[in-house]
Structure 1
């Protein structure tokens, strides 16, 4: 195995460990806080998130990705990026505080003023660690990053639950963001050995200006795709409906986004090191798509089939309207898991201009779907989004594969089997629950029976129809687990030795 492959596998392993931990903490956060806080609090935080997400576009203006992608880095460039990011963080904090009143008037929610005021310093805090994190990612030191992210996430979760139990309301969610950002920045400075010098040489930024601007423009237009549904629902349907929609979106798409984030985050520096060998990237990219489809297709299919018992068991019956939204967002989760891989590939080969153009075309198309579905409520918004996402797969994947000298038919070939088997399993699980289990059975029984039947049947079918893929994924997973367990054992032994 070459050094690049080993580094890539190690990167995927530790990014995976971090994201699994973050997914678990996010789910614990949702399922715990949803039983303590009212639906309205989640709607308020979702409105605040649309504003902070927009402000977040200014956090590094794409400079972090440029540091990872650029092959030759100078100290002056890194230092200029650091000072530039800190300046942006301070400016963003000030602007967010200044416009909080206008935002509250627009959404007709006076409580947003205090929420945004408290959240604003997060941007200054995170800007202090952006360069340190980019340098760690550039060297694929994801083991250190994983420890930092899990520690900071756990601290944020603990503080959020404590504040919620003490009657803090929506501020439990606010405190979670602040604590997580603060702890993460502190540990990034501790782990990274790079230190800034306060010499302003902003002319060094010219080296990455074009690349960074394209990424910023893509993130800018993509913001409206990611947040326009929440803004429209909050504005025209109210925060209660937005609470249902937002929780459904987080339950369904958060795990999928994190699965693809694991792979994209680890692949970006690896692809950047091989950016002059596109045939190798294309081969690895097709394997990556097959692996993602193997995981996300059955995951989304089972969530679709078990949406009502899932919501009832983990959130309570008062959240059952979210199940109708999940029915439409489940396919969206699978579509996004395919499309979201394009960014890491395009950026790694230096074609951020293509990513920018895709954003300029796709974002208006996807955002328009929310407007079309709005008259039918939150379920209509989700349904229109599902249809638009399906049609958007073709131009994105075809464009990426054309640059890698591949074809769209290759993509269809690698995702066909896991997609078809997942649909079959989902229908089988629905039939089993509706016709074999009685209506008197508890939702908990339906949920666990459906999960067991679905996973077992999918694995059996996969062994018959996708044997090579299963073996490849199994051995990769086994190697990754052995590496993680070995590292954890060494870490525990080190702590015990220090205690003794």
Structure 2
């Protein structure tokens, strides 16, 4: 086994086809930043125009849509990415299988929208659920083409597709919101964005399904596909479980408040975490037989995640009250304690996305499935028990589940590449210390502004600017590998532009 020092000190250039990974990271980061910025922007506009109850109605519809969309894939996209070789017969069989699932799910969603809305405790969400059923069919049409873009690491084209989705989603959503369309602004924006994304993937990928369907070829990949599907489905269910519990036990107003808080927290996390997990899975899958490279890649990928997510989430938690009042308004003040709890959880989830990519790339989708089941069972019990203490109780319950289970999952994932959990976590300790100093400086700046009787806008500005300067200064002079990695990616981007 290679020593920890050797593994962690390898240059980023030595980790998995550097030029390809750097380019992929660059493109994926761009698409994620624009996508998350668009979604957050739409949420902010809608939060200013809608009440928490209205937002809760939309959130209930989105719960059904997200679960249905996940079911249309059934793990087939991961098969295309993970297998060493794919052919037209397999791709066509998977495509028509997806299309059949998407059609059936869309029909079921339209038919059962009423009972599903009632089950969530939001009967008014039924029309939105029916409209969002189109996403299942549109997503099924594009699954294979998106998977082929990821398999061949054409992340530049994938970024273009995702950016088009974000732009259309934002333009339609914000435009209709200002026109007074209410909850339909978010519904229409979502459907339009997915339609553009699917069309773009077809435009960029030359492959077209042939009129053939083979059950034999499907059976060849069934084991990996089903295990990955269950792990993904459970992950999606766990991600929606908190909203289901809140909708059923606390009502629409609480669900709307929680949704705004969660989107505020997850937008920065997804912009980085989704980038790293997307690129890491594709890259790690190509190096399954090279644990030394995977160890180095896991540490460096985690460093890049922590470099961005740690200061963003800790800073948000420290300044949550001012941020909510400035961005959303006083009617959303109940979201403040929820954000303060969920922000640290987002850091754990972002780091976990790297180790999950290792587990998946090593072909252990069965492990991922079992962990998904553990999260769901523990989450359901804990969050329902904590719901008696309101939104804060559910949030603390979710945080408790993540804090207990995430390190155990990380340890199991890292065992596949002969790495200790302590070694892995030690690599981000310097970033944690720098972030603590940044948070203290930001808080002191905000308190100083408050003593001078400055308003919340100036308090937030003082905290953000002070914290940003302190963090940038310390990071720039730290000599951490993650900083070099970020410089290298941004440097290549600047040169190419």
Whole-Å Cα distance in 2 between the matches of residues 127 and 14 of structure 1?
24
Report the equivalent of 1:290: 303
Whole-Å Cα distance in 2 between the matches of residues 220 and 470 of structure 1?
32
Whole-Å Cα distance in 1 between the matches of residues 486 and 28 of structure 2?
18
Deviations 1:120-154 (A, max 9, x none): 12111111111011111100001111111111221
Pairing of 1:428-447 with structure 2 (within 5 A): 428-435=441-448, 437-438=450-451, 440-447=453-460
Whole-Å Cα distance in 2 between the matches of residues 430 and 334 of structure 1?
20
Question: How far does residue 319 in structure 1 lie from its aligned partner after superposition?
Answer: 1.1
1:478 aligns with 2:471: no
Structure 1 residues 461 and 382, CA gap change in structure 2 (3 angstroms): same
CA-atom RMSD, angstroms? 1.7
Gaps of at least 5 residues in structure 1 are 487-500
Asked if 2 retains the 8 angstrom alpha-carbon contact of 1:304 and 1:426, the reply is no
Asked if 2 retains the 8 angstrom alpha-carbon contact of 1:462 and 1:470, the reply is no
1:328 aligns with 2:338: no
Give the number of equivalent residue pairs: 484
Gaps of at least 5 residues in structure 2 are 1-12
Question: How far does residue 13 in structure 1 lie from its aligned partner after superposition?
Answer: 0.8
Provide TM-score, normalisation by structure 2. Answer: 0.93
1:238 aligns with 2:251: yes
Structure 1 residues 107 and 264, CA gap change in structure 2 (3 angstroms): closer
Question: How far does residue 443 in structure 1 lie from its aligned partner after superposition?
Answer: 1.2
Report the equivalent of 2:390: 377
Whole-Å Cα distance in 2 between the matches of residues 165 and 436 of structure 1?
34
Asked if 1 retains the 8 angstrom alpha-carbon contact of 2:76 and 2:94, the reply is yes
Report the equivalent of 1:18: 31
Whole-Å Cα distance in 2 between the matches of residues 267 and 46 of structure 1?
30
Pairing of 1:142-157 with structure 2 (within 5 A): 142-157=155-170
Whole-Å Cα distance in 1 between the matches of residues 230 and 372 of structure 2?
8
Pairing of 1:308-457 with structure 2 (within 5 A): 308-435=321-448, 437-438=450-451, 440-457=453-470
Structure 1 residues 105 and 32, CA gap change in structure 2 (3 angstroms): closer
Whole-Å Cα distance in 1 between the matches of residues 20 and 228 of structure 2?
25
1:133 aligns with 2:133: no
Whole-Å Cα distance in 2 between the matches of residues 154 and 417 of structure 1?
37
Pairing of 1:137-286 with structure 2 (within 5 A): 137-286=150-299
Structure 1 residues 359 and 110, CA gap change in structure 2 (3 angstroms): closer
Asked if 2 retains the 8 angstrom alpha-carbon contact of 1:224 and 1:367, the reply is no
Whole-Å Cα distance in 1 between the matches of residues 440 and 386 of structure 2?
26
Whole-Å Cα distance in 1 between the matches of residues 34 and 486 of structure 2?
20
Whole-Å Cα distance in 1 between the matches of residues 271 and 378 of structure 2?
24
Deviations 1:350-382 (A, max 9, x none): 111121122222332233331232111101111
Report the secondary structure of 2:112's partner residue: helix
Structure 1 residues 63 and 149, CA gap change in structure 2 (3 angstroms): same
Whole-Å Cα distance in 2 between the matches of residues 224 and 152 of structure 1?
24
Asked if 2 retains the 8 angstrom alpha-carbon contact of 1:19 and 1:259, the reply is yes
Whole-Å Cα distance in 2 between the matches of residues 120 and 225 of structure 1?
21
Structure 1 residues 121 and 106, CA gap change in structure 2 (3 angstroms): same
Pairing of 1:1-40 with structure 2 (within 5 A): 4-40=17-53
